[in-house]
């Protein structure tokens, strides 16, 4: 089963495909490929892929990637002719993400970022498939005033692996090491997307995420809380732009491996809050509080590699993205169950 396929549609596996970014990725891929979405809903939602379940080129597998994945066991995949065609591409986005309930999923997080990555790569070796891993900008560590704000892919990844967030932060770094090792040993074509702060529809609400929390508070007439002060800066990339970058990275030549994806433009967080207040017509107040404990500011991504090698630039304006985020939160805030 070769990575290059003469079949009409590629077979593509997406782990974490029912998550925030993963479900938007499935929406894009289904247009041209057969998509096998793997998720166990530990922090994702079936609502994110409900509209895809009737698509003939989409199939959902409820599976925990920390357990070996044998696709031959699933008869519902027979129409994709896996024994003959195999899987050409694997997008590995699976990782429990819940800011409000992070402590509840620490073991699942550290296992997904170790054993789970191994299982994905073993599947890639068996199918000679390309692999893209959704990593994170947090690997660069905190960028305070004493360090350069902009980070390049060639910068060292410095972080404290023994903090309470080590399962995620160090887990992402270890995952990258596993990918590179498999690339060295088996000749796999692996891609690593270091993704910075992303927002948009299907982002978890009521879960401690920055933009959803600000939008919900505005809609409910509550104070918008900002960690920091009036000069606190943030970079925000819309989910559709990130998905476009991910797909472009997967399609790139084998010599391209690590790429930053995110917005390289900073805006004052208080200005974002004011835009949200304007869009919602809310009379909420903006209030400031100290940074949360172990807050990591990864700085700005240097996206010149993405621009030069992938032809990628973010296209969605902040005002347009926030309007879509507000519409989503307004439509779904009463549907969320705890």
Using one digit for the tens of pLDDT, what is the confidence trace for 166-176?
888 899 999 99
pLDDT tens-digit map of 214-271 = 999 999 999 999 988 898 889 999 999 999 999 999 999 999 999 999 999 999 999 9
Residue 59 lies in a domain: yes
Query: How many residues in total does the chain contain?
Result: 338
Phi-psi region of 294 (alpha: psi -120 to 50; beta: other; left: phi over 0): left
- For 182, 254, 327, 331, the CA distances from 131, given in Å and listed in that order, are 11, 11, 34, 35
pLDDT at 282 over 70: yes
Residue 162 is part of which domain span?
10-195
Alpha-carbon separation of residue 135 from 59, 64, 283, 286 (angstroms): 25, 19, 38, 32
Tell me, yes or no, whether 308 lies in a domain.
Answer: no
On whether residue 277 sits in a domain, the answer given is: no
Furthest-apart CA atoms within the chain: distance in Å = 60
Question: Between these two residues, 101 and 295, which has the higher pLDDT value?
Answer: 101
Q: Is residue 27 part of a domain?
A: yes
Both tokens assigned to 278: 């304007």
- Catalytic pick from 91, 105, 168, 182? 168
Q: How many structural domains compose the chain?
A: 1
Inside any domain, residue 53: yes
- CB-based contact 89:10 (threshold 8 Å): yes
Instruction: Give percent of the chain with pLDDT exceeding 70.
Output: 93
Look at residue 25 and tell me if it is in a domain: yes
- Alpha-carbon distance of 329 to 286, in angstroms, equals 19
> Residues 21-55: pLDDT tens digits?
999 999 999 999 999 999 999 999 999 999 999 99
In percent, the amount of the chain with pLDDT more than 90 equals 75
Decide if 168 is inside a domain: yes
- 168 in active site: yes
**Is pLDDT above 70 for 119?**
yes
Angle subtended at Cα 292 by Cα 286 and Cα 293, rounded to the nearest 5 degrees:
170
* Residue 41 belongs to domain with CATH number: 3.40.50.720
Domain contains 1: no
**pLDDT value for 236:** 96
């Amino acid at each position: 089963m070769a990575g290059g396929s003469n079949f009409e549609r590629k077979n593509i596996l997406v782990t974490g495909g029912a998550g925030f970014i993963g479900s938007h990725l499935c929406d894009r891929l289904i247009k041209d490929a057969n998509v096998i979405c793997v998720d166990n809903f530990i922090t994702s939602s079936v609502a994110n892929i409900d509209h895809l379940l009737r698509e003939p080129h989409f199939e959902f597998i409820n599976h925990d990637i920390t357990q070996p994945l044998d696709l031959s066991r699933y008869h519902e995949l027979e129409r994709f002719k896996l024994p003959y065609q195999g899987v050409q591409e694997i997008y590995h986005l699976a990782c429990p993400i819940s800011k409000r309930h992070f402590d509840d999923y620490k073991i699942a997080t550290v296992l997904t970022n170790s054993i789970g990555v191994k299982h994905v790569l073993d599947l890639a070796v068996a199918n000679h498939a390309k692999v893209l891993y959704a990593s994170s900008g947090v690997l660069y560590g905190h960028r305070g005033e004493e360090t350069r704000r902009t980070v390049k892919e060639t910068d060292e990844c410095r972080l404290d692996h023994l903090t309470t967030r080590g399962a995620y932060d160090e887990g992402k770094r270890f995952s990258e090491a596993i990918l590179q090792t498999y690339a060295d040993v088996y000749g796999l074509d692996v891609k690593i997307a270091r993704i910075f702060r992303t927002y948009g529809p299907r982002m978890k609400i009521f879960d401690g995420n920055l933009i959803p929390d600000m939008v919900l508070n505005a809609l409910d007439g509550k104070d918008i809380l900002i960690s920091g002060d009036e000069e606190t800066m943030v970079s925000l990339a819309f989910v559709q732009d990130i998905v476009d970058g991910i797909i472009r990275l997967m399609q790139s030549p084998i010599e391209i491996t690590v790429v930053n994806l995110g917005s390289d433009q900073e805006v004052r967080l208080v200005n974002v809050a004011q835009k949200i207040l304007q869009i919602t017509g809310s009379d909420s107040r903006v209030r400031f509080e100290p940074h949360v404990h172990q807050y990591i500011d990864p700085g700005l991504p240097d996206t010149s590699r993405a621009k030069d090698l992938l032809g990628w630039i973010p296209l969605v304006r902040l005002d347009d993205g926030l309007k879509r985020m507000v519409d989503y939160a307004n439509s779904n805030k009463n549907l969320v169950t705890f």
